[in-house]
Amino acid sequence: MSGQSSKSSKSGKTRPTGATASGERKTGSSAGAAQTKGVAAPAKLSARWLIIGSGLVAVILVVVLGAPFAINQKSAGPAASPAGGAPAASLAGNVVQGNGGHWTNISSDTLASMLDHKDFTFLNVKTPYIGEIDRTDLYIPYTALAARAGELPADKAAPIVVYCRSGNESGIASQTLLDLGYTNIYNLDGGMNAWTASGRQIVDKNRS
């Protein structure tokens, strides 16, 4: 009997005690882990929001600080025009690289706009003479341009607009003007042909 009681005592009390202790340890461990996770989760969320917030602030600063720079860049473009020349020509023309410099090919519309506030020497170089655009200042055949350079403006930076019938001879004349040291040269693209095609007139002043 005593042997059986001893076994019952061992089997009945020792195991539940061990199980209870083990259960307490597990429960305590689980509660500790849950408590740790509960503390870590808000910390991770706070760190994420801090990173996102910093990124938004950086984007706002770039937009706010970059906008004035972009505006200044846009406003600076049209202001860049040749010294002493008509700004409309520089904006509406195509730059042609020549030997020792360049000139700008302009359209008939651009020329018409420039003539409204004329501040340039207007040069017809077509040979033979077949007429001219009104308000032309000089008629010098392109082949005689170098020999008659004394008739051109003394200021080498003064704007000169040159034209012929189709643009070929005035292109040659533009290079001659570069050779003579002129730096502010405009060539009517398409010449008098383009001028009349745009609905404008040619006048005949019987020059030779």
pLDDT digits 0-9 by tens, 155-170 = 999 999 999 999 999 9
- C-alpha–C-alpha distance, residues 193 and 190, integer Å: 6
Phi and psi of 157, rounded to 5°?
-95, 0
Give tens-digit pLDDT for 48-82.
656 665 666 554 544 445 444 333 333 333 333 44
- C-alpha–C-alpha distance, residues 161 and 7, integer Å: 123
Distance of alpha carbon 36 from the chain centroid: 55
pLDDT higher than 80, residue 195: yes
The residue written with tokens 């720079």 in the block is: 69
Question: Could you count the other beta carbons within 10 Å of the beta carbon of residue 109?
Answer: 13
pLDDT higher than 50, residue 10: no
Amino acid at 91: L
pLDDT of amino acid 14: 44
In this structure, are residues 113 and 187 in contact, taking their beta carbons and an 8 Å threshold? Answer: no
pTM as predicted: 0.58
State how beta strands 94-98 and 101-106 pair: antiparallel
pLDDT of amino acid 77: 34
Give tens-digit pLDDT for 73-130.
333 333 334 444 444 444 468 999 999 999 999 999 999 999 999 999 999 999 999 9
